[in-house]
Amino acid sequence: MDFKDRHVLVTGGTGALGRAVVGALIEAGAHCRVSYVHEAEAKSFPLRNNVTLHAVDDLSNEATVTKLYDGIPKLWASIHLAGGFAMGSIADTDKTKLMAQIDTNFVACFLCCRAAVKAIGRSGSGGRIVNVAARPGLEWRSGAGMTAYAASKAAVATMTVALAEEVAKDGILVNAVAPSTMDTPANRKSMPNADYALWPKVEEVAATILFLASPENAVTRGAVVPVYGRA
């Protein structure tokens, strides 16, 4: 896949999946803009060539998102990895916790999609958008015990498909991936007794994202692709 001289924005790109995605993009010739929240992740970020890091504290803030996208020349692809996970029964999830999940996972993704459509439109050359839903957002019963998270990711999946229809005429192909639990150090620490071999690796999920964001993807739109591994 050839991203030579193409500009790609990756939100949440300093996390475990983000590092795999950005690394693959750089190898393919892309120029990456990477947003992050935690300073420690930015300081330890190993990829510097053809990468510009942007500290962004709140992607659910419309003005913040607009500023992030306004400075990107000829945006080709926008990949939205930023989000957050929270367990919690509905009895323990008050409105504040619910809205935190909605803002972090859905509103942020919506605003980034909106800004990306505008930025890609300015180039006049079409482009790609890739969102991240989640398995509970597709398989609703698996969201028991995390209803706010599942609902927020289901909203991402629905928006992805609707937006794909809306902007196909502009040459913008919109898709999403829906991972199960990925094999990351944080997930291993929180689930020490799990069978890690069944989990999808971040490099494998990144490969799917890279194809969906690539010029080689000429026909796939409106897909929410399960990336479950063997889990």
Q: What is the per-residue DSSP string for the chain?
A: ---TT-EEEEETTTSHHHHHHHHHHHHTT-EEEEEES-HHHHHT----TTEEEEE-S-TT-HHHHHHHHHT-SSEEEEEE-------B-GGG--HHHHHHHIIIIIIHHHHHHHHHHHHHHHHTS-EEEEEE--HHHHSGGGGTTBHHHHHHHHHHHHHHHHHHHHHGGGTEEEEEEEE-S-B-HHHHHH-TTS-GGGSPBHHHHHHHHHHHHSTT--S--S-EEEE-TT-
Q: Helix 202-213 crosses helix 16-27 at what angle (to 10 degrees)?
A: 50
Q: Are strands 51-55 and 7-11 parallel, antiparallel or unpaired?
A: unpaired
Cα 24 to Cα 27: distance, rounded to the nearest angstrom: 5
Which residues form the catalytic set? 149
The letter for the amino acid at 36 is Y
